[in-house]
Amino acid sequence: PPITGCALSAQLAQAQAVPGLLDAQRTAPSYVHTEAVQAALAKHKERKMAVPMPSKRRSLVVQTSMDAYTPPDTSSGSEDEGSVQGDSQGTPTSSQGSINMEHWISQAIHGSTTSTTSSSSTQSGGSGAAHRLADVMAQTHIENHSAPPDVTTYTSEHSIQVERPQGSTARVAPKYGNAELMETGDGVPVSSRVSAKIQQLVNTLKRPKRPPLREFFVDDFEELLEVQQPDPNQPKPEGAQMLAMRGEQLGVVTNWPPSLEAALQRWGTISPKAPCLTTMDTNGKPLYILTYGKLWTRSMKVAYNILHKLGTKQEPMVRPGDRVTLVFPNNDPAAFMVAFYGCLLAEVVPVPIEVPLTRKDAGSQQIGFLLGSCGVTVALTSDACHKGLPKSPTGEIPQFKGWPKLLWFVTESKHLSKPPRDWFPHIKDANNDTAYIEYKTCKDGSVLGVTVTRIALLTHCQALTQACGYTEAETIVNVLDFKKDVGLWHGILTSVMNMMHVISIPYSLMKVNPLSWIQKVCQYKAKVACVKSRDMHWALVAHRDQRDINLSSLRMLIVADGANPWSISSCDAFLNVFQSKGLRQEVICPCASSPEALTVAIRRPTDDSNQPPGRGVLSMHGLTYGVIRVDSEEKLSVLTVQDVGLVMPGAIMCSVKPDGIPQLCKTDEIGELCVCAIATGTSYYGLSGMTKNTFEVFPMTSSGGPITEYPFIRTGLLGFIGPGGLVFVIGKMDGLMVVSGRRHNADDIVATALAVEPMKFVYRGRIAVFSVSVLHDERIVIVAEQRPDSTEEDSFQWMSRVLQAIDSIHQVGVYCLALVPANTLPKTPLGGIHLSETKQLFLEGSLHPCNVLMCPHTCVTNLPKPRQKQPEIGPASVMVGNLVSGKRIAQASGRDLGQIEDNDQARKVIVWCCDCHSALLQFLFLSEVLQWRAQTTPDHVLYTLLNCRGTIANSLTCVQLHKRAEKIAVMLMERGHLQDGDHVALVYPPGIDLIAAFYGCLYAGCVPITVRPPHPQNIATTLPTVKMIVEVSRSACLMTTQLICKLLRSREAAAAVDIRTWPPVLDTDDLPKKRPAQIYKPSNPETLAYLDFSVSTTGMLAGVKMSHAATSAFCRSIKLQCELYPSREVAICLDPYCGLGFVLWCLCSVYSGHQSILIPPSELETNPALWLLAVSQYKVRDTFCSYSVMELCTKGLGSQTESLKARGLDLSRVRTCVVVAEERPRIALTQSFSKLFKDLGLHPRAVSTSLGCRVNLAICLQGTSGPDPTTVYVDMRALRHDRVRLVERGSPHSLPLMESGKILPGVRIIIANPETKGPLGDSHLGEIWVHSTHNASGYFTIYGDESLQSDHFNSRLSFGDTQTIWARTGYLGFLRRTELTDANGERHDALYVVGALDEAMELRGMRYHPIDIETSVIRAHKSITECAVFTWTNLLVVVVELDGSEQEALDLVPLVTNVVLEEHYLIVGVVVVVDIGVIPINSRGEKQRMHLRDGFLADQLDPIYVAYNM
């Protein structure tokens, strides 16, 4: 084809473009790279990078005894660099070329046990004695943190212990208390104090990072992710536009055959005795010699049988042009060759593939898709291979996963019919019919078939013959896979065209004897050998004791992967060692090839030893921008490349820009090499679109015109054409990773990793490098197989050094570096690593690494800018009537308590008239209500307690409760000698005694405090909390049952607390028989009725004061909201110790007269269906539970709904099922509960939630009337900025929020700015403030700390209504006016809770709620059952509970880091993997994150794994 300009001017132009590319570099040593890496590491050593080592549980540390170890098995040849038994230092960097060998290699090869261990990496000034990791690793035991907290002083940080669930949820008690020793890698307990490691991490992270980035792009909202701006100083290509390079003329020699079959026919008939192929057994003895005569006759026989013996005469299975697959093992090239030529003679199209070893072979499914799309129905195979395939019990070969149904046909001669005399194959000249299909695996693991026509096949053989100077009857040694690529082209096809003799070395022989190919070269005086750099590398390892090696017969050593950047070191090292054995420098001929373009370029063998090969030492920095710069000043980051010779005869080559339109590159620019020639593939079989993009490319000049009218083919190789027309390849398109706009090549990164003391810790060639997309950019991941004899500490040091080396040399951060046990990465059939499969395993969390180091802090530079808080708008400009900045003020109230009374009275003239509201309104005190009920309805049952079998354990009528309370009052006054106003701690299990004791206190004028009793199985953690509440509440006396009385004085109790300091303990099982002289009546409704103590999730113990007036108002409010009166029954499954749970359990029935069915949540552990069966049995309309009860039912009864239905469980009468909570409603749980029990009649809208807090025990509660709870979707990113932005359901970053029930009667709410205390508008996020007659009257603190109280209980707005006194709830939320109407006809205001202010985490200037991050993390992997997050010194710590084997622990680290980055734009600092049940949860089902944090920092969690992200 005509080409603009001439090749000479192109060479001149290119020589000028990159001055000095080849002059000084003629002799550039290839070990520059290893030296560069060592120098880079030395530089880092001075900076003393302290990387905290992960903590690992001892059971996770693999026991590595060398005897039990077998070297990695790589079933067959290797794609990249497999591992032989003698994997070791690959690049000898000194002239002696000393090699590090291991004793088991030398044993395998020579049966000796000597082992030389001079590692060459130390000779190049390397980091042999690498610095130990940070000094905090002193080898000492950690101090034991199991001392109980001192609960007598109230300054101790640990004064508040975990409030354990006693009952409610079946979780294992966390193993705090006895801190088990943590181990580092090698099982040595060290002072691995978490706090020290975190400090180390923080110090390291403080180091200056890359320069800050400037521009942003908007990510569909105002969270601005940084976008990498081009560096103004980045190198840009400056050369002239390149010219296409034309190879020499393809000189067709007169006696070249017109087709390959014609060549076979010629040699088979005129030289039938000439050897064609010699195969070897595993001892290196010739197994079989195939002559040209035999090849010809057997191929004919195969051709005849394929066409005539499959199917019937009328309906043959295979016709000319059909595709058949060839399935032959790597040790049987002769059978393959016969079958391949049989197909060519029969004019059917062979599709050679690998032998499927198992039904689940990595990638074999994709091969199946290829066979299916090619319409293959017949598989040709050998006898031995057929016997070895997996069989079903009936002896049939099962269908492999994803494969079409195949007929297996054995091609051995003895199984075939002889063709009749008159039958003869049809031998034509080569034409455009398809000759064969070669498979190609893409980056994503999919398999394509490249079709090669007969004319391309012939032309390719001719071009190779000309370029390599092949002559008749030459001997060639082939180590490569003969089914595809260079091995097929030279060892099966071109050899037959030239009647050459091929000595085929199977991979199994190479594994036993890596020198076998060199020995065969000597033995057969071979002229040519085809190898990969791996084979040269292995020969180096093993060559020691070989005396009689002579390689002077070789005129050409073809290096099939010579285009790979790391092959140059193998070539140099090989030459270095074997030059003395007759190897000449000019014999080494690297070549470049691709499945699409076949041979792209090959170095020609010359006789002139004075002309050394071309070398380029290129700046790695320039290459990342696609620019060729000869490296001058910075010797560290360079890539040394060797040329792969000249363009093929008869071909034209150019390079085009890798992305976008195929525009010609400049002379100093890296591009994708494209080839225009007859000798290439023509299409991807059956994929016309992909074919067009690859096989029909028209390179454009800068002026926009195509350079020729002929199409070019993209080779998939990146490189440039250098001076003298030499082709240089610097990487593959498939290995390209674009990180922040710079291009990096996976192979270069592998080479750098290998140069870091490579052979000690990982296997050469068992390294996978790929990129994953996280947060809008590619992130580099390195996975390597760890040697079994390296310790944890060594491996970890190696990992941190690899990171440093890659950072120095490539100026790119590695996102994740993972080591897996030897032999566990998925393999390609030839033993290389199956890259796409490895990436898949990594992404789905099933890689099971044994070491992981993540570096998100270094890599992720495109996070949004930290938020700067804006000053609020001043008051003057915003208040206009009831509007704030143009919006209605966010305020709402429940019904008015007073007015309802009268309306209701008029409406309800019913039986209960005598007992209606007016009667109740005249009583100010609950004790009076109880006395009144005991007189008017003495036998009305108020309480029924159920046991775990669902039968009634106990019940109380009005009069029974009254009489019992009287006796308790007498006991308090006579035995306890208490005055009115004294505080009494009630330590009872959930039940009826608790209720009686409470009213007994009221009758005696004492102030009760309900306290959860200690858990008998867990006294050490639960008793200190009891002791603390008793002391903080200043209880003068403690009432309890006989059983608990004994528990409080037991030996176990004495070990946990000082039992001598208990106040007097009264046992109410033994009551006096008399009545009190009079029942105490308080003088003033504002006096104290009871104290309510609760441990918050942040670990704060807070007691609030409830006055008599507030208590009565509270009961009245609930009575009205839920329409409670004596004929009602309400089921309660809650803990009765604080908040709304206590009020419902103890107070409401006495006030409203309804019957309460009490179900202790702890009973559900033995019988999860207890609560729902009771609700069904008593036909209850209203029931109350906690989240832990709901979770227990959802998890415990999920599979039992059918059997429950059969037992008659019916929930159709339930109209309200309220979850009593002090948090954002858990929509996922309530929805799954509703869905699960829908079949049992539960109405989907029955389930709702309430909201309570310390200042007001119930603000909202879904009552019987009024609209159903609504759900809105808000943008999670706006919430971080304290803004509410409503979005559609299902939109990205949306978060569903459910209304927290209806506002109770007598409650007013306003939303205020927590900082400025100004009122906020509708749908604005702020703190919920509440004004109500049942607000608590203040904190009861031991010091009477008024400052805390005045703010929380007596706040005023800074502008607007500045008179009203509000209580601050500490919860963030917003009000939104809906379209619905309330019971009183007003528009309904819905309250949505987002989270507690003291739980929220301030990170990067934004407010995060732990639950949102935890929800994302739990979704990240199926084995994560629970998660809790907290911050420590600005680091985000994520604790996950693992439900699975400990081997899975390390899989979670990258997944957790990824999901938090993607969804929350946060970098996780520490990932802690623990056992199930370690995250402490209180009785309300809330996570105790602060306790978890204290336990973590005090080394008390016994984690499976702790990863510190760098």
- Quick check: pTM over 0.85? no
- Over residues 1338-1365, the mean pLDDT reads 74
Question: Contact 713/597 with Cβ under 8 angstroms?
Answer: yes
Using N-to-C axis directions, what is the helix angle for 516-524 and 533-542, rounded to 10°?
Answer: 90
Instruction: Quick: pLDDT tens for 944-955.
Output: 999 998 899 999
Residue 1471 has pLDDT above 90, yes or no: yes
Instruction: Quick: pLDDT tens for 266-308.
Output: 999 999 999 999 999 888 899 999 999 999 999 999 999 999 9
- In the 8-state DSSP scheme, what is residue 1427? E
Residue 180 has pLDDT above 60, yes or no: no
- Over residues 162-179, the mean pLDDT reads 39
- Over residues 1461-1480, the mean pLDDT reads 93
Both tokens of 625, joined, read 């921008």
Q: Say which residue the tokens 């890359």 belong to.
A: 210
Please name the helix (run of DSSP H) or strand (run of DSSP E) that holds residue 727, with its range, or none: strand 727-732
Nearest to 1257 by CA among 1057, 1385, 1115, 1466: 1115
pLDDT band at 886 (very low <50, low <70, confident <90, very high): low
- Over residues 1242-1270, the mean pLDDT reads 88
Residue 913 has pLDDT above 90, yes or no: no
CA distance 1098 to 1430: 10
Query: Which residues lie across from 1103 on neighbouring strands?
Result: 1093
Highest mean pLDDT: which of 1046-1060, 1117-1131, 1378-1392? 1117-1131
Taken as a whole, the chain contains a residue count of: 1510
- Over residues 1332-1336, the mean pLDDT reads 91
CA 986 vs. chain centroid, Å, equals: 49
Residue 554 has pLDDT above 80, yes or no: yes
> In whole numbers, what is the pLDDT of the chain averaged over residues?
82
- The pLDDT of residue 213 is 41
Lowest mean pLDDT among 24-28, 811-815, 1116-1120: 24-28
CA distance 23 to 1220: 82
Instruction: Quick: pLDDT tens for 184-233.
Output: 333 333 445 777 787 777 777 766 554 444 333 333 444 566 666 777 77
Nearest to 1102 by CA among 1194, 1006, 1015, 1028: 1028
Residue 895 has pLDDT above 80, yes or no: yes
Residue 1347 has pLDDT above 70, yes or no: no
Instruction: Quick: pLDDT tens for 1408-1420.
Output: 999 999 999 999 9
Helical residues (DSSP H) of 514-658, grouped into ranges: 516-524, 533-542, 567-578, 620-624
Going by C-beta distance under 8 Å and a sequence separation of 6 or more, which residues neighbour residue 478?
A: 487, 490, 491, 502, 503, 504, 505, 529, 530
CA distance 318 to 425: 15
CA distance 1021 to 1038: 20
Both tokens of 161, joined, read 């212990």
416-446 exposure pattern, b = at least 16 Cβ within 10 A, e = fewer = beebeeeeebebeebeeebbbbbbbbebebe
- In the 8-state DSSP scheme, what is residue 44? H
Please name the helix (run of DSSP H) or strand (run of DSSP E) that holds residue 952, with its range, or none: strand 952-957
- The pLDDT of residue 542 is 79
Residue 889 has pLDDT above 80, yes or no: yes
CA distance 850 to 1418: 22
Q: How far is CA 729 from CA 568, 694, 715, 737, 1138, in A?
A: 12, 18, 11, 16, 74
862-872 exposure pattern, b = at least 16 Cβ within 10 A, e = fewer = bbbeebeeeee
Using N-to-C axis directions, what is the helix angle for 1187-1197 and 1227-1236, rounded to 10°?
Answer: 40
Residue 1077 has pLDDT above 60, yes or no: yes
Here the contacts of 578-584 (C-beta below 8 Å, separation 24 or greater) are: 578/518, 578/543, 578/549, 578/551, 581/549, 581/550, 581/551, 582/549, 582/550, 582/551, 582/552, 582/553, 583/551, 583/552, 583/554, 583/557, 584/552, 584/554, 584/609
Q: Say which residue the tokens 């208490």 belong to.
A: 978
Going by C-beta distance under 8 Å and a sequence separation of 6 or more, which residues neighbour residue 844?
A: none
CA distance 656 to 673: 7
Read off φ and ψ for residue 667, nearest 5 degrees: -65, -25
Lowest mean pLDDT among 134-148, 288-302, 827-841, 1485-1499: 134-148
- The pLDDT of residue 149 is 34
CA distance 1150 to 137: 63
The greatest distance separating any two alpha carbons of the chain, rounded to the nearest whole angstrom, comes to 134
Instruction: Quick: pLDDT tens for 1009-1019.
Output: 999 999 888 88
Q: How far is CA 1295 from CA 388, 560, 583, 1248, 1291, in A?
A: 56, 55, 70, 18, 9
Lowest mean pLDDT among 166-170, 355-359, 612-616, 827-831: 166-170
Instruction: Quick: pLDDT tens for 556-580.
Output: 999 999 988 778 888 998 999 899 8
878 vs 755, higher pLDDT: 755
327 vs 565, higher pLDDT: 327
- The pLDDT of residue 99 is 35
Residue 434 has pLDDT above 70, yes or no: yes
Strands 501-504 and 475-478: parallel
- The pLDDT of residue 887 is 73
Q: Which SS3 state, helix, strand or coil, does residue 1352 take? A: helix
- Over residues 329-343, the mean pLDDT reads 95
Residue 420 has pLDDT above 90, yes or no: yes
145 vs 570, higher pLDDT: 570
Instruction: Quick: pLDDT tens for 710-727.
Output: 999 999 999 999 988 999
> Tell me, what amino acid is at 401?
K
- Over residues 30-54, the mean pLDDT reads 69
493 vs 184, higher pLDDT: 493
Residue 150 has pLDDT above 50, yes or no: no
pLDDT band at 761 (very low <50, low <70, confident <90, very high): confident
The burial class, CB within 10 Å (0-12 / 13-18 / 19+), for 251 is exposed
- The pLDDT of residue 86 is 38
Both tokens of 1233, joined, read 């509960």
Highest mean pLDDT: which of 122-136, 266-280, 895-909? 266-280
Going by C-beta distance under 8 Å and a sequence separation of 6 or more, which residues neighbour residue 1139?
A: 1092, 1094, 1220, 1222, 1252, 1257, 1258
Residue 394 has pLDDT above 80, yes or no: yes
- The pLDDT of residue 884 is 59
- The pLDDT of residue 758 is 59
Lowest mean pLDDT among 181-195, 611-625, 1255-1269: 181-195
Highest mean pLDDT: which of 44-58, 149-163, 267-281? 267-281
Lowest mean pLDDT among 913-917, 1004-1008, 1167-1171: 913-917
Lowest mean pLDDT among 557-561, 891-895, 1128-1132, 1176-1180: 891-895
CA distance 1136 to 1146: 7
Instruction: Quick: pLDDT tens for 922-975.
Output: 778 899 999 999 999 999 999 999 999 889 999 999 999 999 999 999 999 888
Strands 1035-1040 and 983-987: parallel
CA 1093 vs. chain centroid, Å, equals: 41
Question: Contact 1131/1174 with Cβ under 8 angstroms?
Answer: yes
pLDDT band at 1006 (very low <50, low <70, confident <90, very high): very high
Lowest mean pLDDT among 136-145, 303-312, 1149-1158, 1444-1453: 136-145
210 vs 496, higher pLDDT: 496
Percentage of residues in the chain having pLDDT higher than 70: 82
883 vs 12, higher pLDDT: 883
Please name the helix (run of DSSP H) or strand (run of DSSP E) that holds residue 1091, with its range, or none: strand 1088-1095
- The pLDDT of residue 212 is 44
